[in-house]
Amino acid sequence: MNAWDLLGITLFILFTVVYHTAYYVYAQRYPLATVKGKIHLYRRTWIKRIIDKGDYILAVQAFRNLITSSSFMASSSLLVIGIVLNTMIRGDIAATLNIENTEHLQLKLGILLILYAFAFMNFLFNIRFLNQLTILIGSDPDLIDHIEGMEAVEYFTAMLNSATNRYTYGQRGFYFSLAIIAWIFSSIAFVIVTLIIGIFLVGLLDFQRWRPPRALRRLPDAP
């Protein structure tokens, strides 16, 4: 491996493992300072309204829409896993791409396989939690309080947040797979794509304060 490879691997580990571990710990301690933390709080109010109004059909429909999205992503992950496995077994991609070091290529394909397997498992866990919510959302809140030792709102919110966190992990597995794909062709491209993805997550997704579009901000106040 050359210096670019080592730099890319270092950045990759920093953004995938170190950053996301620190981000989720920070989001739990300071929810209002992160997008994920604020959305978790908003979901709690949604769950509370669902339970207070007894509008369980709305909740089930929302969960089913989320399950459909997760099922599509899980199927896509499984499809890519099959393609990568077939490529690793056949071993003819090195000749196609004029790559001499086949061991490094197998390593890159192995990391790519792990990323998509990680995404696949997270989408499956997401579907599992959402399926449980589809049934349990209409259960007796007092029974949940008695057995679980917490209010039904907190119990369902924690389950929904766990589901959405798994979906986020799966999505980000897809994001960073682009960096590994770039690595197959160029070590410099690996570094550049990893930096772009990391900056995109930090600057636009995880800490960006949302504001309405400029056109909406210009609308006059209702009388």
Please check whether residue 123 lies inside any domain of the structure: yes
CA 49 – CA 45 distance, rounded (Å): 6
Which range marks the domain in which residue 91 is found? 3-205
Q: Say what the pLDDT of residue 223 is.
A: 43
State the pLDDT confidence band at 215, using cuts at 50, 70 and 90.
Answer: low
CA 87 – CA 207 distance, rounded (Å): 38
Average pLDDT for residues 14-30, to the nearest whole number?
92
pLDDT in tens, 109-167: 899 999 999 999 999 999 999 999 999 998 888 898 989 888 999 999 999 999 999 99
Q: Is 32 exposed, middle or buried (0-12, 13-18, 19+ CB in 10 A)?
A: exposed
Please check whether residue 216 lies inside any domain of the structure: no
Average pLDDT for residues 200-210, to the nearest whole number?
80
126 touches 12 (CB < 8 A): no
Q: Say what the pLDDT of residue 77 is.
A: 94
Mean pLDDT over all residues of the chain? 87
Please check whether residue 182 lies inside any domain of the structure: yes
State the pLDDT confidence band at 23, using cuts at 50, 70 and 90.
Answer: very high
Please check whether residue 217 lies inside any domain of the structure: no
Please check whether residue 219 lies inside any domain of the structure: no
Please check whether residue 210 lies inside any domain of the structure: no
CA 44 – CA 155 distance, rounded (Å): 10
Q: Say what the pLDDT of residue 14 is.
A: 94
pLDDT in tens, 50-91: 998 888 898 999 999 999 999 999 999 999 999 888 888 876
State the pLDDT confidence band at 216, using cuts at 50, 70 and 90.
Answer: very low
CA 38 – CA 69 distance, rounded (Å): 22
Residue type, 195: L
Q: At 153, list the tokens.
A: 């709102």
Q: How far is CA 113 from CA 78, 91, 98, 154, 207, in A?
A: 10, 15, 21, 36, 29
Please check whether residue 55 lies inside any domain of the structure: yes
Tell me how many degrees the CA angle 39-129-209 measures, rounded to the nearest 5: 10
Please check whether residue 57 lies inside any domain of the structure: yes
Q: Please give the tally of structural domains in the chain.
A: 1
Tell me how many degrees the CA angle 64-66-71 measures, rounded to the nearest 5: 90
DSSP3 helix / strand / coil % (the chain, rounded to 5): 85, 0, 15
